[in-house]
Protein backbone atom coordinates (compact mmCIF):
# COMPACT_ATOMS: atom_id res chain seq x y z
CA UNK A 1 0.00 0.00 0.00
CA UNK A 2 1.38 3.41 -0.99
CA UNK A 3 0.22 6.52 0.79
CA UNK A 4 1.20 10.18 0.83
CA UNK A 5 3.85 10.34 -1.88
CA UNK A 6 5.50 7.04 -1.20
CA UNK A 7 5.06 6.74 2.56
CA UNK A 8 4.30 3.23 3.71
CA UNK A 9 1.08 2.39 5.51
CA UNK A 10 0.54 1.30 9.09
CA UNK A 11 1.60 -2.27 8.30
CA UNK A 12 5.13 -0.97 7.67
CA UNK A 13 5.53 0.42 11.19
CA UNK A 14 7.89 -1.53 13.46
CA UNK A 15 5.24 -1.13 16.20
CA UNK A 16 1.42 -1.14 16.06
CA UNK A 17 0.00 2.18 14.89
CA UNK A 18 -1.98 2.55 18.12
CA UNK A 19 1.25 2.42 20.12
CA UNK A 20 2.76 5.09 17.89
CA UNK A 21 -0.26 7.36 18.38
CA UNK A 22 -0.43 6.97 22.14
CA UNK A 23 3.35 7.01 22.57
CA UNK A 24 3.69 10.23 20.61
CA UNK A 25 0.98 11.95 22.65
CA UNK A 26 2.49 10.76 25.94
CA UNK A 27 5.98 11.88 24.91
CA UNK A 28 4.62 15.35 24.26
CA UNK A 29 2.72 15.50 27.56
CA UNK A 30 5.73 14.28 29.55
CA UNK A 31 8.00 16.80 27.86
CA UNK A 32 5.60 19.60 28.71
CA UNK A 33 5.65 18.67 32.40
CA UNK A 34 9.44 18.44 32.33
CA UNK A 35 9.71 21.88 30.73
CA UNK A 36 7.51 23.42 33.43
CA UNK A 37 10.01 22.36 36.09
CA UNK A 38 13.34 22.51 34.24
CA UNK A 39 12.87 25.54 31.94
CA UNK A 40 11.66 28.36 34.18
CA UNK A 41 13.03 31.42 32.40
CA UNK A 42 13.40 32.45 28.74
CA UNK A 43 16.64 31.06 27.34
CA UNK A 44 16.47 31.65 23.60
CA UNK A 45 18.15 34.63 21.95
CA UNK A 46 17.75 35.25 18.19
CA UNK A 47 20.94 37.37 18.09
CA UNK A 48 23.19 34.75 19.70
CA UNK A 49 25.75 32.99 17.48
CA UNK A 50 28.12 30.16 18.32
CA UNK A 51 30.87 30.43 15.70
CA UNK A 52 31.53 33.18 13.15
CA UNK A 53 32.51 32.12 9.61
CA UNK A 54 34.32 35.13 8.08
CA UNK A 55 36.17 33.15 5.38
CA UNK A 56 32.99 31.44 4.26
CA UNK A 57 31.31 34.85 4.13
CA UNK A 58 33.98 36.24 1.79
CA UNK A 59 33.45 33.37 -0.65
CA UNK A 60 29.64 33.30 -0.40
CA UNK A 61 29.29 37.05 -0.86
CA UNK A 62 31.78 37.39 -3.70
CA UNK A 63 30.47 38.80 -6.97
CA UNK A 64 31.78 35.75 -8.83
CA UNK A 65 29.85 33.25 -6.69
CA UNK A 66 26.66 35.33 -6.67
CA UNK A 67 26.88 35.88 -10.41
CA UNK A 68 27.53 32.20 -11.08
CA UNK A 69 24.60 31.09 -8.92
CA UNK A 70 22.28 33.61 -10.60
CA UNK A 71 23.40 32.54 -14.07
CA UNK A 72 22.91 28.86 -13.30
CA UNK A 73 19.45 29.47 -11.83
CA UNK A 74 18.32 31.39 -14.92
CA UNK A 75 19.85 28.71 -17.16
CA UNK A 76 18.01 25.95 -15.30
CA UNK A 77 14.74 27.88 -15.41
CA UNK A 78 15.18 28.51 -19.14
CA UNK A 79 15.94 24.85 -19.77
CA UNK A 80 12.86 23.73 -17.88
CA UNK A 81 10.74 26.34 -19.68
CA UNK A 82 11.97 25.05 -23.02
CA UNK A 83 11.25 21.49 -21.94
CA UNK A 84 7.70 22.48 -21.00
CA UNK A 85 7.08 23.65 -24.58
CA UNK A 86 9.17 21.35 -26.76
CA UNK A 87 9.72 18.38 -24.47
CA UNK A 88 7.49 15.32 -24.03
CA UNK A 89 4.03 16.37 -22.86
CA UNK A 90 3.64 13.64 -20.25
CA UNK A 91 4.81 12.81 -16.72
CA UNK A 92 8.41 12.44 -17.89
CA UNK A 93 8.64 16.17 -18.68
CA UNK A 94 11.37 17.84 -16.62
CA UNK A 95 9.03 20.69 -15.66
CA UNK A 96 6.86 18.53 -13.42
CA UNK A 97 9.70 17.04 -11.40
CA UNK A 98 11.54 20.34 -11.12
CA UNK A 99 8.39 22.18 -10.04
CA UNK A 100 6.97 19.67 -7.57
CA UNK A 101 10.10 17.91 -6.32
CA UNK A 102 13.31 19.90 -6.70
CA UNK A 103 11.71 23.27 -5.94
CA UNK A 104 8.72 22.63 -3.68
CA UNK A 105 9.94 19.64 -1.68
CA UNK A 106 13.60 20.57 -1.98
CA UNK A 107 12.98 23.92 -0.29
CA UNK A 108 12.82 22.24 3.13
CA UNK A 109 16.19 20.39 3.20
CA UNK A 110 17.96 23.17 1.30
CA UNK A 111 16.68 25.86 3.68
CA UNK A 112 17.54 23.79 6.74
CA UNK A 113 21.07 23.28 5.46
CA UNK A 114 21.85 26.59 3.76
CA UNK A 115 19.48 29.11 5.32
CA UNK A 116 17.16 31.27 3.18
CA UNK A 117 18.67 29.94 -0.02
CA UNK A 118 15.78 30.82 -2.37
CA UNK A 119 16.60 34.52 -2.28
CA UNK A 120 20.05 33.57 -3.63
CA UNK A 121 19.00 31.06 -6.30
CA UNK A 122 15.72 32.71 -7.35
CA UNK A 123 15.78 33.21 -11.13
CA UNK A 124 13.32 36.08 -10.76
CA UNK A 125 15.65 37.94 -8.41
CA UNK A 126 18.53 37.29 -10.84
CA UNK A 127 16.56 38.70 -13.77
CA UNK A 128 15.47 41.67 -11.66
CA UNK A 129 19.13 42.43 -10.88
CA UNK A 130 20.02 42.27 -14.57
CA UNK A 131 17.17 44.58 -15.60
CA UNK A 132 17.98 47.05 -12.83
CA UNK A 133 21.63 46.98 -13.87
CA UNK A 134 20.72 47.81 -17.46
CA UNK A 135 18.46 50.62 -16.28
CA UNK A 136 21.10 51.78 -13.76
CA UNK A 137 18.71 51.78 -10.86
CA UNK A 138 19.01 50.11 -7.44
CA UNK A 139 17.23 46.78 -7.10
CA UNK A 140 15.33 48.23 -4.14
CA UNK A 141 14.00 51.19 -6.15
CA UNK A 142 10.21 51.29 -5.97
CA UNK A 143 7.60 53.27 -7.84
CA UNK A 144 5.26 52.74 -4.89
CA UNK A 145 6.62 51.79 -1.43
CA UNK A 146 5.45 48.40 -0.19
CA UNK A 147 3.15 48.95 2.79
CA UNK A 148 4.41 47.17 5.89
CA UNK A 149 0.88 46.45 7.09
CA UNK A 150 0.43 44.11 4.13
CA UNK A 151 3.03 41.80 5.66
CA UNK A 152 3.46 38.57 3.72
CA UNK A 153 -0.23 38.23 2.81
CA UNK A 154 0.54 38.13 -0.95
CA UNK A 155 2.70 35.06 -0.33
CA UNK A 156 -0.20 33.36 1.44
CA UNK A 157 -2.24 33.60 -1.76
CA UNK A 158 0.74 32.34 -3.76
CA UNK A 159 1.20 29.34 -1.49
CA UNK A 160 -2.49 28.52 -1.66
CA UNK A 161 -2.41 28.83 -5.45
CA UNK A 162 0.42 26.30 -5.61
CA UNK A 163 -1.28 23.90 -3.21
CA UNK A 164 -4.60 24.21 -5.02
CA UNK A 165 -2.84 23.23 -8.24
CA UNK A 166 -1.20 20.26 -6.53
CA UNK A 167 -4.09 19.01 -4.41
CA UNK A 168 -7.39 20.27 -5.83
CA UNK A 169 -6.87 20.97 -9.51
CA UNK A 170 -7.98 18.33 -12.02
CA UNK A 171 -4.78 18.98 -13.99
CA UNK A 172 -2.04 18.82 -11.35
CA UNK A 173 -0.01 16.45 -13.52
CA UNK A 174 -0.60 18.37 -16.75
CA UNK A 175 2.44 20.04 -18.28
CA UNK A 176 0.27 22.80 -19.75
CA UNK A 177 -1.39 23.55 -16.38
CA UNK A 178 1.94 23.78 -14.54
CA UNK A 179 3.38 25.86 -17.38
CA UNK A 180 0.47 28.29 -17.08
CA UNK A 181 0.95 28.52 -13.30
CA UNK A 182 4.64 29.29 -13.76
CA UNK A 183 3.87 31.91 -16.42
CA UNK A 184 1.46 33.69 -14.08
CA UNK A 185 4.05 33.47 -11.29
CA UNK A 186 6.71 35.09 -13.50
CA UNK A 187 4.37 37.92 -14.51
CA UNK A 188 3.23 38.60 -10.92
CA UNK A 189 6.80 38.58 -9.59
CA UNK A 190 8.15 40.76 -12.42
CA UNK A 191 5.38 43.35 -12.27
CA UNK A 192 5.44 43.44 -8.48
CA UNK A 193 9.22 43.94 -8.39
CA UNK A 194 8.96 46.73 -10.97
CA UNK A 195 6.42 48.52 -8.77
CA UNK A 196 7.62 47.74 -5.25
CA UNK A 197 11.31 46.93 -5.76
CA UNK A 198 12.99 43.75 -4.57
CA UNK A 199 11.10 43.87 -1.25
CA UNK A 200 8.25 42.39 -3.26
CA UNK A 201 10.11 39.08 -3.45
CA UNK A 202 10.61 38.82 0.31
CA UNK A 203 6.92 39.53 0.92
CA UNK A 204 5.10 37.99 -2.03
CA UNK A 205 7.20 35.19 -3.55
CA UNK A 206 5.65 32.01 -2.08
CA UNK A 207 8.86 30.04 -2.53
CA UNK A 208 11.02 32.71 -0.87
CA UNK A 209 8.66 33.15 2.08
CA UNK A 210 8.49 29.36 2.49
CA UNK A 211 12.28 29.10 2.36
CA UNK A 212 12.77 32.00 4.77
CA UNK A 213 10.31 30.47 7.24
CA UNK A 214 11.95 27.04 7.27
CA UNK A 215 15.44 28.58 7.35
CA UNK A 216 14.77 29.90 10.84
CA UNK A 217 15.69 26.37 11.98
CA UNK A 218 18.93 26.37 10.01
CA UNK A 219 22.20 26.41 11.99
CA UNK A 220 23.56 28.82 9.37
CA UNK A 221 22.76 32.50 9.85
CA UNK A 222 24.22 35.98 9.65
CA UNK A 223 25.40 37.80 12.73
CA UNK A 224 23.05 40.77 13.01
CA UNK A 225 25.86 43.00 14.28
CA UNK A 226 28.57 42.24 11.71
CA UNK A 227 26.68 40.64 8.81
CA UNK A 228 29.13 37.73 8.85
CA UNK A 229 27.89 34.18 8.28
CA UNK A 230 27.83 32.22 11.53
CA UNK A 231 26.57 29.06 13.18
CA UNK A 232 23.81 29.19 15.77
CA UNK A 233 21.43 26.99 17.68
CA UNK A 234 18.35 26.24 15.55
CA UNK A 235 16.19 27.00 18.59
CA UNK A 236 17.64 30.50 18.77
CA UNK A 237 17.06 30.86 15.05
CA UNK A 238 13.37 29.96 15.28
CA UNK A 239 12.76 32.91 17.61
CA UNK A 240 13.98 35.26 14.87
CA UNK A 241 10.86 34.68 12.74
CA UNK A 242 9.46 38.18 12.11
CA UNK A 243 5.97 38.85 13.41
CA UNK A 244 3.96 40.36 10.58
CA UNK A 245 0.51 40.06 9.06
CA UNK A 246 0.19 36.72 7.32
CA UNK A 247 2.82 34.80 9.32
CA UNK A 248 0.31 32.53 11.05
CA UNK A 249 -1.58 32.08 7.78
CA UNK A 250 1.59 30.95 5.98
CA UNK A 251 2.22 28.25 8.57
CA UNK A 252 -1.45 27.22 8.66
CA UNK A 253 -1.47 26.82 4.87
CA UNK A 254 1.71 24.72 4.94
CA UNK A 255 0.53 22.53 7.80
CA UNK A 256 -3.11 22.22 6.79
CA UNK A 257 -2.31 21.37 3.18
CA UNK A 258 -0.09 18.48 4.27
CA UNK A 259 -2.92 17.14 6.42
CA UNK A 260 -5.33 17.51 3.50
CA UNK A 261 -2.96 15.61 1.23
CA UNK A 262 -3.04 12.70 3.69
CA UNK A 263 -6.83 12.92 3.94
CA UNK A 264 -6.94 12.66 0.17
CA UNK A 265 -5.62 9.10 0.45
CA UNK A 266 -8.57 7.96 2.59
CA UNK A 267 -11.07 5.86 0.56
CA UNK A 268 -14.07 7.47 2.28
CA UNK A 269 -12.90 10.94 1.23
CA UNK A 270 -12.29 9.77 -2.32
CA UNK A 271 -15.81 8.36 -2.47
CA UNK A 272 -17.23 11.61 -1.12
CA UNK A 273 -15.38 13.59 -3.77
CA UNK A 274 -16.50 11.28 -6.56
CA UNK A 275 -20.14 11.34 -5.46
CA UNK A 276 -20.37 15.03 -4.54
CA UNK A 277 -23.09 16.99 -6.31
CA UNK A 278 -20.77 20.01 -6.35
CA UNK A 279 -18.22 18.21 -8.48
CA UNK A 280 -14.79 16.92 -7.55
CA UNK A 281 -12.84 20.17 -7.97
CA UNK A 282 -15.13 22.39 -5.84
CA UNK A 283 -15.32 19.66 -3.19
CA UNK A 284 -11.54 19.28 -2.99
CA UNK A 285 -11.14 23.07 -2.97
CA UNK A 286 -13.60 23.50 -0.11
CA UNK A 287 -11.97 20.61 1.74
CA UNK A 288 -8.51 22.15 1.37
CA UNK A 289 -9.76 25.52 2.63
CA UNK A 290 -11.62 23.89 5.52
CA UNK A 291 -8.61 21.91 6.77
CA UNK A 292 -6.33 24.95 6.55
CA UNK A 293 -8.88 27.01 8.49
CA UNK A 294 -9.29 24.32 11.17
CA UNK A 295 -5.53 24.02 11.68
CA UNK A 296 -5.07 27.78 11.78
CA UNK A 297 -8.09 28.43 14.01
CA UNK A 298 -6.98 25.78 16.51
CA UNK A 299 -3.55 27.38 16.88
CA UNK A 300 -4.96 30.92 16.93
CA UNK A 301 -7.47 30.05 19.65
CA UNK A 302 -4.94 28.16 21.77
CA UNK A 303 -2.42 31.00 21.58
CA UNK A 304 -5.03 33.48 22.83
CA UNK A 305 -6.43 31.21 25.58
CA UNK A 306 -4.73 32.82 28.58
CA UNK A 307 -5.59 35.30 31.26
CA UNK A 308 -3.90 38.37 32.63
CA UNK A 309 -3.20 40.12 29.32
CA UNK A 310 -4.71 43.15 27.65
CA UNK A 311 -6.85 42.89 24.53
CA UNK A 312 -4.07 44.21 22.30
CA UNK A 313 -1.54 41.82 23.83
CA UNK A 314 -3.92 38.88 23.38
CA UNK A 315 -4.38 39.70 19.70
CA UNK A 316 -0.59 39.69 19.26
CA UNK A 317 -0.03 36.30 20.91
CA UNK A 318 -0.63 34.08 17.83
CA UNK A 319 2.08 35.95 15.94
CA UNK A 320 4.47 35.83 18.91
CA UNK A 321 4.02 32.05 19.16
CA UNK A 322 3.90 31.32 15.42
CA UNK A 323 7.55 30.23 15.24
CA UNK A 324 6.64 27.17 17.34
CA UNK A 325 4.85 25.76 14.27
CA UNK A 326 7.98 25.77 12.10
CA UNK A 327 9.45 22.47 13.42
CA UNK A 328 6.00 20.87 13.17
CA UNK A 329 5.77 21.87 9.50
CA UNK A 330 9.29 20.53 8.90
CA UNK A 331 8.47 17.28 10.69
CA UNK A 332 5.32 16.69 8.64
CA UNK A 333 7.02 17.59 5.37
CA UNK A 334 9.84 15.16 6.15
CA UNK A 335 7.44 12.37 7.03
CA UNK A 336 5.21 13.06 4.05
CA UNK A 337 7.72 13.61 1.26
CA UNK A 338 10.93 11.76 2.18
CA UNK A 339 10.58 8.84 -0.22
CA UNK A 340 9.04 11.05 -2.90
CA UNK A 341 11.94 13.51 -2.72
CA UNK A 342 14.73 10.94 -2.76
CA UNK A 343 13.36 8.74 -5.53
CA UNK A 344 11.38 11.15 -7.69
CA UNK A 345 14.23 13.62 -7.27
CA UNK A 346 16.64 11.16 -8.89
CA UNK A 347 14.23 10.64 -11.76
CA UNK A 348 13.90 14.41 -12.25
CA UNK A 349 17.66 14.98 -12.39
CA UNK A 350 17.97 12.17 -14.93
CA UNK A 351 15.22 13.78 -17.04
CA UNK A 352 17.13 17.09 -17.00
CA UNK A 353 19.93 15.34 -18.87
CA UNK A 354 17.57 15.07 -21.85
CA UNK A 355 15.05 17.89 -21.29
CA UNK A 356 13.63 17.92 -24.83
CA UNK A 357 13.42 14.16 -25.15
CA UNK A 358 15.55 14.15 -28.30
CA UNK A 359 18.28 11.83 -27.08
CA UNK A 360 20.58 14.50 -25.64
CA UNK A 361 22.84 13.63 -22.72
CA UNK A 362 23.64 17.03 -21.22
CA UNK A 363 24.48 15.76 -17.74
CA UNK A 364 25.89 12.41 -18.81
CA UNK A 365 23.10 10.52 -17.04
CA UNK A 366 21.61 8.68 -20.03
CA UNK A 367 22.36 5.27 -18.53
CA UNK A 368 21.58 6.21 -14.93
CA UNK A 369 18.71 4.55 -13.12
CA UNK A 370 16.70 5.40 -10.02
CA UNK A 371 17.72 3.72 -6.77
CA UNK A 372 14.59 2.79 -4.83
CA UNK A 373 16.48 2.41 -1.58
CA UNK A 374 13.70 3.84 0.59
CA UNK A 375 10.82 2.02 -1.10
CA UNK A 376 12.71 -1.20 -0.47
CA UNK A 377 12.87 -0.46 3.26
CA UNK A 378 9.36 0.73 4.20
CA UNK A 379 9.78 0.00 7.91
CA UNK A 380 12.77 2.33 8.05
CA UNK A 381 10.81 5.05 6.27
CA UNK A 382 7.85 4.59 8.61
CA UNK A 383 10.11 4.81 11.64
CA UNK A 384 11.73 7.99 10.34
CA UNK A 385 8.28 9.45 9.69
CA UNK A 386 7.10 8.82 13.25
CA UNK A 387 10.35 10.24 14.62
CA UNK A 388 10.10 13.34 12.42
CA UNK A 389 6.54 14.10 13.51
CA UNK A 390 7.15 13.51 17.22
CA UNK A 391 10.47 15.39 17.33
CA UNK A 392 8.92 18.25 15.38
CA UNK A 393 6.20 18.58 18.01
CA UNK A 394 8.67 18.27 20.89
CA UNK A 395 10.73 21.12 19.47
CA UNK A 396 7.55 23.07 18.80
CA UNK A 397 6.30 22.78 22.35
CA UNK A 398 9.75 23.80 23.63
CA UNK A 399 9.64 26.94 21.50
CA UNK A 400 6.08 27.69 22.61
CA UNK A 401 7.08 27.24 26.26
CA UNK A 402 10.02 29.64 25.97
CA UNK A 403 7.88 32.18 24.14
CA UNK A 404 5.16 31.92 26.79
CA UNK A 405 7.69 32.66 29.53
CA UNK A 406 8.72 35.73 27.56
CA UNK A 407 5.27 37.04 26.65
CA UNK A 408 2.82 35.97 29.37
CA UNK A 409 2.51 37.34 32.92
CA UNK A 410 4.43 35.20 35.40
CA UNK A 411 1.30 34.05 37.21
CA UNK A 412 -0.20 32.79 33.93
CA UNK A 413 2.97 31.43 32.30
CA UNK A 414 2.09 27.81 33.11
CA UNK A 415 -1.71 27.79 32.82
CA UNK A 416 -1.56 29.93 29.70
CA UNK A 417 0.19 27.08 27.89
CA UNK A 418 -2.38 24.38 28.61
CA UNK A 419 -4.55 25.08 25.58
CA UNK A 420 -1.49 25.09 23.31
CA UNK A 421 -0.40 21.80 24.86
CA UNK A 422 -3.77 20.24 24.01
CA UNK A 423 -3.55 21.50 20.43
CA UNK A 424 -0.01 20.14 20.05
CA UNK A 425 -1.16 16.72 21.28
CA UNK A 426 -4.07 16.80 18.82
CA UNK A 427 -1.69 17.80 16.01
CA UNK A 428 0.57 14.86 16.91
CA UNK A 429 -2.24 12.34 17.23
CA UNK A 430 -4.03 13.57 14.12
CA UNK A 431 -0.87 13.77 12.05
CA UNK A 432 0.28 10.25 12.87
CA UNK A 433 -3.22 8.89 12.35
CA UNK A 434 -3.49 10.48 8.91
CA UNK A 435 -0.03 9.25 7.93
CA UNK A 436 -0.53 5.66 9.10
CA UNK A 437 -3.86 4.87 10.71
CA UNK A 438 -6.12 6.20 7.97
- Decide: 197 and 141 in contact? Cβ < 8 Å: yes
Beta-carbon count within 10 A of 265 CB: 18
Any idea where the domains of the chain sit in the sequence? 1-48+260-438, 61-232
In this prediction, the residues of the chain whose per-residue pLDDT falls under 50 are 1-4, 6-12
Cα angle 420, 426, 432 (rounded to 5 degrees) comes to 135
- DSSP assigned state of 41: S
- Decide: 256 and 146 in contact? Cβ < 8 Å: no
CA 191 to chain CA centroid, nearest Å? 25
- Give dist(CA 329, CA 249) in Å, integer: 13
pLDDT in tens, 296-330: 999 999 999 887 778 888 889 999 999 999 999 99
Which pLDDT score, from 0 to 100, does residue 6 have? 44
Which pLDDT score, from 0 to 100, does residue 100 have? 95
Q: Report CA-CA distances (Å) from 136 to 128, 130, 186.
A: 12, 10, 22
Q: Report CA-CA distances (Å) from 291 to 11, 265, 270, 300, 437.
A: 26, 15, 16, 14, 18
Q: Which helix or strand (DSSP H or E) is residue 71 part of?
A: helix 63-86
Which pLDDT score, from 0 to 100, does residue 284 have? 95
- DSSP assigned state of 198: T
Which pLDDT score, from 0 to 100, does residue 14 have? 52
Which pLDDT score, from 0 to 100, does residue 15 have? 55
Which pLDDT score, from 0 to 100, does residue 177 have? 95
- Give dist(CA 106, CA 172) in Å, integer: 18
Beta-carbon count within 10 A of 391 CB: 17
- Beta-bridge mates of residue 52: 230
**CA-based nearest residue to 180, from 321, 81, 65:** 81
Amino acid sequence: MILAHGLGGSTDLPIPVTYALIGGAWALAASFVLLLFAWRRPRLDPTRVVVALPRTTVVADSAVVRGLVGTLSVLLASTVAAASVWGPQDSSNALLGTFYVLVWVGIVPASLLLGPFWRIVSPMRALHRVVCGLLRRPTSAAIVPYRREWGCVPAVFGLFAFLWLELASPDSGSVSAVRLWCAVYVVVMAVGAAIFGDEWFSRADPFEVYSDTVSRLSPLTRDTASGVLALRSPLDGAVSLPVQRGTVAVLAVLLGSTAFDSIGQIPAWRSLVDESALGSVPTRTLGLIAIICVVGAAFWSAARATGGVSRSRRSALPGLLAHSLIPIVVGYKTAHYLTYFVEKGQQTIISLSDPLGNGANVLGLRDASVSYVLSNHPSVVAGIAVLAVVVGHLVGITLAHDASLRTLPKEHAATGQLAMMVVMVLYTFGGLFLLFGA
